[in-house]
Amino acid sequence: MALLPILKYPDPRLHTVAKPVEQVDERIRTLVKNMAETMYAAPGVGLAATQVDVHERVVVIDVSEKGDELQVLINPVITWKSDELQVYEEGCLSVPTIFDKVERAERIRFKALDAHGNEYEQEADGLLAVCVQHELDHLDGKVFVEYLSVLKRERIRSRLRKQQREELKAGV
């Protein structure tokens, strides 16, 4: 297994729309393992393939307390969203050190393939519902900061560019 480099906002590759996985094979299972290792090491609770510059519809999520309940979503689709909304403070491995409130559906139902290519359907609420919606946005080329005002987005973009320049100077 290997840790994968995570793209940082405002990298334009984060806006690439991911293509469906045609076949769940050993290549995809290796991608899933590497993504899971990367997510846990970051540390985070979700990671979309888009964030590691692989533009296929693959997501790994683990919202458990102990970090031992990995969920794999291949070709995920939200099939239903509740009318009720919830506001969660979100963060993102591609937007380090930035957290802000985003409004999303309180409950969802989604279907996906697991790492063996078996289809499943699941209902989610709370953090899992937020995480699934957040990661599926990545697959559609959208980063959570795009829900924020233009002013906030520009401040974040400037702050992260400055941070990236400082890291380059320091040789990080």
pLDDT tens figures, 130-163:
999 999 999 999 999 999 999 999 999 899 888 8
According to the model, what pLDDT value does residue 44 have?
96
Task: For the beta carbon of residue 34, count every other beta carbon within 10 angstroms.
Answer: 18
Structure confidence at residue 111 as a pLDDT band (50, 70, 90):
very high
According to the model, what pLDDT value does residue 172 have? 65
15 in a known ligand binding site: no
Q: What is the DSSP annotation of 133-146?
A: HHHHHHHTT--GGG
Answer yes or no: is 134 a known binding residue: yes
Q: Find the range with the poorest average confidence among 17-21, 87-91, 101-105, 165-169.
A: 165-169
Burial 4-29 (b: 16+ CB within 10 A, else e): bebbbbbbeebebebeebeebeeebe
State the CB neighbour count (10 A cutoff) for residue 160: 20
Which are the catalytic amino acids? 135
Average pLDDT over residues 10-39: 97
Q: What is the pLDDT of residue 170?
A: 85
Nearest to 123 by CA among 144, 140, 99, 106: 106
Angle, CA 98 vertex, CA 95 and CA 99 arms, to 5° = 120
Percent of the chain past pLDDT 90, that is, above it, reads 89
